Amino acid sequence: MRTTESFRGLYCTASDDQHDLTATGPTDAGGRLEPMYETSSIGWGTDPNAFERGSNTDTDTDTDTERNITTRSMWRYEELLPFVDPITAGEGDTPLVTAPQLAAEVGVETLAIKDESRNPTGTILDRGLSSAVTAARETDAELLALATPGNAGQSAAAYAGMAGLRSYAFVPSRTPFSNKAMVNVHGSEMRVAGGRYPDAEDALTEQLQSDWYTLQEFDNPYRHDGIKTVAFELAEAHEWSVPDAVVVPAGTGEIVAGVAKGFRELNDANILTAMPQLYAAQPSGCAPIADAAADNAGTVEPWENPDTIVGELEIPDPNGGTAALEAIEECNGEIITVDDDAILEAAVVAAQHAGLEIGTAGGAAIAAVDKLADRDVFDSTDTVIAVNTESGTKTADVLRSHLMGKGI
């Protein structure tokens, strides 16, 4: 693999043993694989030219156009990312949009929305799939596959197409039509499993007969490693300090774990001196991570009867449940449950007051901000960030139905 100088390799979280860079899945010791980096020489925050180089300056494809795209993307943080020649469509570098009307309603000085809907396929997962598919190419993989509620399948198809690799996405029947359509438009194969997300996971292992390289969250260690760049951008936007609170939706756990990892690495590099309080939001109809946190359990038990309108967050047995618990504890945060009606209303209100197209998963984060504010968790001088993880166009029919239910 062609990797950056600072990338130290993959390490097992249970044993600290180093593994081959092509490794995937849980380790024999029962841990997950984590990409690790040498952070001692990183000069972000002190070097004004830190992000002028881009990632492709030492490759044979170093055209001005490609360098400009890379510089504008998450790959400008190359010193804490694994690959020197990434597959990129300009993911990352998304806007942080202040919402003064919403801030006044919740009683904080600043409420800003990190709008991940601006990514190439309209989801935060583009960050992780850019890195994961690059790893697949570097591994000489021939066939890529994953099960997904929808967004990750569309994203994986886009990056696999750019890499010239075959890919399969197994999705549940309730996946939004836009996701299903774009999986095929990007050139990937799709299989629809009747039922819900666990049925798509089962279908992947039962129906796909060929060997495949996994793009599944946490089975592929490079996915949540790409998500961490959200934290880099938030810290940079705050002049290399941390906001008072960051609120993200939690489904598989990869966003929670990834954002916490980003802040942790900035602390390890002495760029930051503190971690922000990190809050995660789950729908009350499918909240296995929140349940485990409430019970002070070290592991997450599967949710028996998942029932939420937010398909991206209806993950009854999350691969990253334990990682999310660890991240919340490290960041002195909390996992909040919010009802579907509150989620949909929050997405609509944010769209109307902040001008953003908020997806239902992003609505969960904003609803959690409201719930935390009702409990007086925030001070009036706080800066709070809510992460909108997907475009509202992906769930427009659900949001419209919510309005129709109110007679609008």
Q: Please check whether residue 308 is in contact with residue 340, taking contact to mean a CB–CB distance below 8 angstroms.
A: yes
Domain check: are 238 and 191 in the same one? no
- The pLDDT tens digits of the residues spanning 303-334 come to 999 999 999 999 999 999 999 999 999 999 99
Domain check: are 282 and 391 in the same one? yes
Domain check: are 111 and 231 in the same one? yes
Whole-angstrom distance, CA of residue 328 vs CA of residue 348 = 27
- The pLDDT tens digits of the residues spanning 237-253 come to 999 999 999 999 999 99
Domain check: are 145 and 30 in the same one? no
Domain check: are 148 and 273 in the same one? no
DSSP conformational letter for 78: G
Long-range contacts of 344-350 (CB under 8 A, 24+ apart): 344/309, 344/398, 344/399, 344/402, 345/402, 346/370, 347/392, 347/395, 347/399, 348/399, 348/402, 348/403, 349/102, 350/99, 350/102, 350/113, 350/388
Domain span at residue 133 reads 125-214
- The pLDDT tens digits of the residues spanning 78-119 come to 999 999 999 999 999 999 999 999 999 999 999 999 999 999
Work out the pLDDT band at 58, boundaries 50, 70, 90.
very low
Range of lowest pLDDT (46-50, 94-98, 277-281, 395-399): 46-50
Q: Is the pLDDT of residue 46 over 70?
A: yes
Domain count, the chain: 3
- Position 65 scores a pLDDT of 46
Rounded to the nearest 10°, the torsion over CA 247, 100, 127, 210 is 70
Question: Last residue of some domain: 214, 236, 266?
Answer: 214
Work out the pLDDT band at 48, boundaries 50, 70, 90.
low
Indicate which CATH number applies to the domain containing 376. Answer: 3.40.50.1100
Name residue, tokens 């001196």: 273
